[in-house]
Structure 1
Amino acid sequence: MAKKEAVQHVNIGINDKDRKKIAEGLSRLLADTYTLYLKTHNFHWNVTGPMFNTLHLMFETQYNELALAVDSIAERIRALGVHAPGSYKEFAKLSSIPEADGVPAAEEMIRQLVEGQEAVVRTARAIFPSTEAANDEPTADLLTQRMQTHEKTAWMLRSMLA
């Protein structure tokens, strides 16, 4: 039987209750980000039509950025002393982003990705009250960066629909 590892108490100036609440919010953000990553990667593989090359490359840039983001979010959860979710089952429970049904047309892919980017922004924004109350500047900084990236990406995608 494996020996249980001793865990040292986290003492970073944020109490246990606040760290747990912030980590719960970040877990939802992680689930949304991972779900959007998977959706974007799926669309990268399956996009067709006259805008194929543009969208194929754009979606690749976006899913690569999302892949880096999930790592940053999960590592922040761990720094708070909480285990990060890491399974499809957990992500499905936590995510606000629906999976795509089948393979939509390119324009519908863009619409769904705009909705997904905006959903991630809303999830990130909802965590701010907890981070501010706990004076958790590192999480606030992470959230600000994520919102900025997702708002810009949503704008760029939305511009393709005009």
Structure 2
Amino acid sequence: MTTTLKQSRQTELVTALNREQANALVLYLNYKKYHWLTFGPLFREMHLLFEEQGGEVFATIDELAERSLMIDGKPVADPARYLPTATVKPSEGELSVREMVEEALTAHELVIGEMHQDADAAAEAGDIGTADLYTRLVQVHQKHRWFLKELLKKGDNLVS
């Protein structure tokens, strides 16, 4: 092992990175579903918002995987391992646009909470690189949460 992390801490950090990598892929796939299946008076805006937010989440997958490698771990590489590793649930069934937004919001809140804990664990382990990655990526999820919350609180019944 070439890092200065103790083996037990390194394993813990890689497990968390793998979880967030899997979460990012599941959330991305959920966003693609929302993008393809959105409808209604805000179709264009929601179609584009889901595409934009999904693309930003997709961009985090490689960063999380490469961070695992940087600390001498292994990323989630087998497609069959993504769902069992993720805590974000895959979207299922037909949803209203409001339900799509609520589902995405719930996923972001989960990821934000986990990344806060993961950043603390990384900092405590002395892995400032991983802590910094979480600090940066959590801001992506916070921005997405903000946009989604704004859609839900307007009360104009356009997202229903």
Q: Mark yes or no: TM-score above 0.5.
A: yes
Segments of 4+ moved more than 6 angstroms: none
Match of 1:156 among 132, 139, 147: 147
* Aligned mates of 1:146, 1:78 — CA distance in 2: 18
**1:17, distance to aligned residue in structure 2 (A):** 2.1
Alpha-carbon contact 1:40-1:63 (below 8 Å) kept: yes
CA deviation map 1:42-87 (0-9, x unaligned): 1111111111100111111111111110010010011111111133
Alpha-carbon contact 1:40-1:59 (below 8 Å) kept: yes
**1:129, distance to aligned residue in structure 2 (A):** 3.3
Give identity over the alignment, percent: 25
1:45 equivalent in structure 2 = 36
Match of 1:12 among 3, 9, 20: 3
CA deviation map 1:135-161 (0-9, x unaligned): 111101110111111111101111001
CA RMSD of aligned residues (A): 1.3
* Equivalent residues in 2 for 1:8-157, closer than 5 Å: 10-157=1-148
- Code of the residue aligned with 1:66 in structure 2: it is V
Alpha-carbon contact 1:28-1:123 (below 8 Å) kept: no
- Code of the residue aligned with 1:33 in structure 2: it is A
* Structure 1 segments unaligned to the other structure (5+ residues): 1-9
Residue 35 of structure 2 aligns to a residue in which SS? helix
CA deviation map 1:99-123 (0-9, x unaligned): 2221211111001010111111122
Q: Scaled by the length of structure 1, what TM-score is found? A: 0.89
* Aligned mates of 2:148, 2:58 — CA distance in 1: 18
Residue 152 of structure 2 aligns to a residue in which SS? coil
CA deviation map 1:6-26 (0-9, x unaligned): xxxx32322222211100111
Residue 121 of structure 1 aligns to a residue in which SS? helix
Comparing 21-30 and 82-91, the one that deviates more: 82-91
2:157 equivalent in structure 1 = none
* Structure 2 segments unaligned to the other structure (5+ residues): 154-160
Aligned length: 153
- Code of the residue aligned with 1:28 in structure 2: it is R
Alpha-carbon contact 2:38-2:47 (below 8 Å) kept: yes
Comparing 54-63 and 94-103, the one that deviates more: 94-103
